[in-house]
Amino acid sequence: MESLRKLIRFNIEQNIKGLYVGGSTGEAFLQNVAEREKILETVADESDGRLTLIAHVGGISTAESEVLAKAAKKYGYHAISAVTPFYYPFSFEEHCIHYRKIIDSADGLPMVVYNIPALSGVRFSLDQINELVTIPRVCALKQTSGDLFQMEQIKRKL
């Protein structure tokens, strides 16, 4: 964890204002829940209130995401974020239930819905995205699709 602490200090020295912790680039899906929680704790401890922190808590299991959402709240994160559950073909309503349960577990933290269809295999329609962002406590959409046409539609509609 010392290397992680060093990286956080470096980012603070560079005047970075916030971190999105545990996303795809951070290889979160190669880590178990205990490892992911330890990373959330370490980042919060080392940043010591100097950064805005968003915890990526997404995963294939709603239960694991709920554990991580509770940890994010415990360690003082400002928001949570989650990809859709992947691998299995969940219905849109099941995706909404997934997000609501995670949000409830985070006890008031805002949620950033992370839409990354190339890696999740889930492709939401414009109407579905609109419905997702109207779930209470959803504050933003992390749109990582590369579909510029859909991005323009989202920009116009939302």
Is position 114 annotated as part of the catalytic site?
yes
Q: Which member of 88, 114, 155, 157 is catalytic? A: 114
Are the C-beta atoms of 79 and 114 separated by less than 8 Å? no
Can you tell me the distance from the alpha carbon of 144 to that of 138, in angstroms, rounded to the nearest whole number?
A: 17
Q: Which residues of 64-79 are buried (b: 16+ CB within 10 A; e: fewer)?
A: bbbbbbbbbbebebeb
Please tell me whether residue 111 adopts helix, strand or coil conformation.
Answer: strand
CB count, 10 Å around CB of 90? 16
Q: Which member of 38, 73, 101, 142 is catalytic? A: 142
Catalytic residue numbers read: 114, 142
